[in-house]
Amino acid sequence: MTRTPAAITIAAAAAVLLAACTGEHTTAEPPTMTSAQAKQAVVDIVNRSYAEIGGDWTIRSGPAVQSCELPSGGSGAAFTYIVDRAPGGEPSSDIKKLQHFWSGEGIKAGPYKNGGSNPVHGLSGVGGPTTSIDLYADPTGYTIEGFSVCTVGDAAEMQGNGE
């Protein structure tokens, strides 16, 4: 089975949206960032992550605002940001490189592997400047997706304002 960067991106975006809908992305502490700071933080860490790996990356989604659940209850706003890259690179080497980088950024990361006969490997991280960040490293293309911390804000209103 051949996977394209677009197929990997679609699967990654679906996972992010499903997790957000189930409330998986909540923080244990009250938000300390404004929504603008959270948006910038997720963009920065994703951009610096792909710079560590190298290559030509394309923004596939975001930064896009969506609803999240605040630790204190009620709805807040968080941002997703997804980039991908065409084939190239050495997945195992790039995973190690990014794991080292993320560790220095306060992100706790571990290996990722999806199911199937030809699994996609990667790295899944939590903490640091994001709620979660993932690398899907496949010889047919890479995807990095980040999910910001949940902040006080009305995601629907922000979407209506062009966020």
What pLDDT digit, counting tens, does each position of 39-50 carry? 999 999 999 999
> Starting from the edge strand earliest in sequence, which strands make up the sheet with 121-127, in order?
57-69, 75-85, 141-147, 130-138, 121-127, 107-113
Q: Give the global pTM.
A: 0.78
Percent of the chain whose predicted confidence (pLDDT) is above 70: 80
Distance CA 11, CA 130 (A): 20
- pLDDT at position 28 over 50: no
For the chain, what are the domain ranges? 5-160
- pLDDT at position 25 over 50: no
- pLDDT at position 6 over 70: no
Distance CA 49, CA 54 (A): 9
Question: How is domain 5-160 classified at the CATH fold level?
Answer: TBP-like (3.30.2030)
